[in-house]
Chain A
């Protein structure tokens, strides 16, 4: 999380109740967002949820059917894309095939009549920033995917936009390169001090890079928060399940006494939760992240709730193992860290184990 993000000041971009329809499809549905100056902001959501459409409206390639988009307090809705202080890195890179790397990067300056001397200086600077020095004379077909990506980045950064839009810029790269580019992007943003808006459907990417994330589904924004809050305090079932994995429980309030409520979780037992303004008999949905379970062959004495379970299956992921368990007729997921070489020898399929949880780790969902 960058300390420079100033959420209290006026936002760089304000999206006000924006809706965009394609025939019967509502691609973006009454979305309102504030993107603070200097943020690394991510739009996260499953395929087809309207991320690209929202981004294209900010860039000016699509017009909202309803609502407005303000940049620095100025209404951008009718401003054509070439007059917006916003630049975009396209998912397909869209590097001009008939131009050299140099010409590609210089293009945005040449068409707006920047003097030659300044173009030279700024292009050199941008190429150094993305580490493409020495490749000026190459043509796009002589570049690798990652290098084309850098050209697209340099081409946008050289314009010194107020806001840089990135539409799934890393999805075409292999995993190793993707991780390198993720770090590269974070470094770049610290160096240039430009606000980034990143579209992605990859939760890891959003969590590790962004300092604010808006989760979208079916055209709507469900939750806006920093990565930690989003993971630890998901507000809805969709967010809990889309970001990471969650064990979901149905619960019912059975008793209330001085500031706490007793909640009976189906088939698992009762827990005492801190005061909630809920009446007796209210149904609740609770979520628990899989790594919060304490997995133990013996009954854990300190846990707020302990469940006897049978280990059904185990998936080894190197640093962690994912356990699929059965307890009280339902499936649970737990993650254990393989801190010791070989892991815990007692954790084999069929083993009987205890799962312990702390009430503080339970999240009450809104839906």
Chain B
């Protein structure tokens, strides 16, 4: 007779543990190696030769790398703001109103999510060339095509996240607010926006990470003299993966992890306030 197993006891089976270990290995080993070798005191990224931070300094002094990094950050911040506002407004409109062609708008909203990035990239390139937006403008206007591209594929994600949040909203809260003397705008600002906040944070985070590491669409829409971080890394890697690339990538990983932690904390705090988490 064998004892009954609890739900967690299954984790004691050796093959399950092996499976888990393998999953984690494949997921995270490359990242760990990347981070570790960014501190390797060797030009060639194969054997460990001792600890150093000189490649971080080298990356820091690489002007074109810093320029690409700055571009990426500027684009990411602007794209996040725009996508969050646009996405939230779209979600609100779809949640709040009934109008002719609503189903079509909802469908069109999902398109940028499903269309292959390469097609979006080509389409945007053709479109921007026609408008004569590609090249010829000084910084920061030269970033405009990339920015528009990023907003185009990010804001539907925000809309989806915010819409999901709104589905749970109790309409009588809105009526209660109006009943107590608040106008439409006051009700929106003091009742609806606080309710949407977790959705907004999650959506913004998504938009930020989508923008920061986008390669395909950026590659097509960046003009001859605009370069972003992922594109720059790509061009550097073509001449071999140097520890400098590792160092720059590690910084990017640190930035995204930090942002995620901040966002998750915000999320947790507002959930706890509404009693949705213990």
Using a CB–CB cutoff of 8 Å, the interface residues on chain A facing chain B are 59-61, 80-83, 86-88, 90, 92, 94, 96-98, 107-108, 111-112, 139-142, 155-156, 159
Contact = CB atoms under 8 A, between A and B. Distances in A.
29 contacts: A80-B178, A81-B178, A82-B181, A82-B182, A82-B183, A86-B179, A88-B175, A88-B176, A88-B179, A92-B172, A94-B170, A94-B176, A96-B176, A96-B177, A97-B173, A97-B274, A97-B275, A98-B195, A98-B273, A107-B180, A108-B181, A111-B177, A111-B181, A111-B182, A139-B273, A141-B274, A141-B276, A142-B275, A155-B176
A80 B185 CA distance: 14
Given A96-B191, A97-B274, A98-B274, A87 B175 contact: no
A323 B248 CA distance: 88
Contacts of B178: 60-61, 80-82
A198 B183 CA distance: 26
Interface string B164-208: 000000101101111111110010001100110000000000000
A54 to B, nearest CB: 16
Contacts of B182: 82, 107-108, 111
B175 A111 contact: no
B195 to A, nearest CB: 7
A166 to B, nearest CB: 12
A111 B180 contact: yes
Contacts of A155: 176, 180
B275 A81 contact: no
Contact of B172 (A90, A112, A156, A159): A90
Nearest to A114: B181
Given A82-B178, A140-B275, 11 more contacts: A81-B175, A81-B178, A92-B170, A96-B191, A97-B173, A97-B195, A107-B177, A107-B180, A108-B181, A141-B274, A155-B180
Contacts of B170: 92, 94
A96 B173 contact: yes
A81 B181 CA distance: 7
Contacts of B173: 94, 96-97
Interface residues of B, number: 22
A260 B17 CA distance: 96
Tell me which of A59, A94, A112 has the highest count of chain B C-beta atoms within 10 A of its own C-beta: A94
Contacts of A156: 179-180
Interface in B239-273: 270, 273
Contacts of B274: 97-98, 139, 141
A90 B275 CA distance: 21
A138 to B, nearest CB: 11
A108 B180 contact: yes
Interface string B211-232: 0000000000000000000000
Chain A to chain B: the 8 pairs with minimum beta-carbon distance, closest first: A141-B275, A108-B180, A94-B176, A111-B182, A94-B172, A112-B181, A81-B178, A97-B274
Contacts of A80: 178
A195 B173 CA distance: 24
B199 to A, nearest CB: 13
Contacts of A140: 275
Contact of A61 (B175, B180, B275): B175
B275 A87 contact: no
A98 B194 CA distance: 7
A61 B276 CA distance: 30
* Of B173, B181, B194, most A-chain CB atoms within 10 Å: B181
Contacts of A87: 179-180
B187 to A, nearest CB: 8
Contacts of A96: 173, 176-177, 191
- Give the most central of B176, B273, B274, B276: most A CB within 10 Å: B176
B183 to A, nearest CB: 6
A59 B172 CA distance: 13
Interface string B15-59: 000000000000000000000000000000000000000000000
A139 B270 CA distance: 12
A335 B194 CA distance: 56
A217 B89 CA distance: 43
Nearest to B175: A61
A111 B186 contact: yes
A152 B178 CA distance: 14
B275 A139 contact: yes
Contacts of A142: 275
B179 A59 contact: yes
Nearest to A103: B190
Nearest to B197: A98
A155 B172 CA distance: 14
Contacts of B179: 59-61, 81-82, 86-88, 156
A98 B270 CA distance: 8
A53 to B, nearest CB: 14
Contacts of A90: 172, 175-176
A90 B191 CA distance: 16
A145 to B, nearest CB: 14
A19 B48 CA distance: 84
B169 to A, nearest CB: 10
Contacts of A111: 177, 180-183, 186, 190
Nearest to A165: B179
B21 to A, nearest CB: 40
A229 B121 CA distance: 79
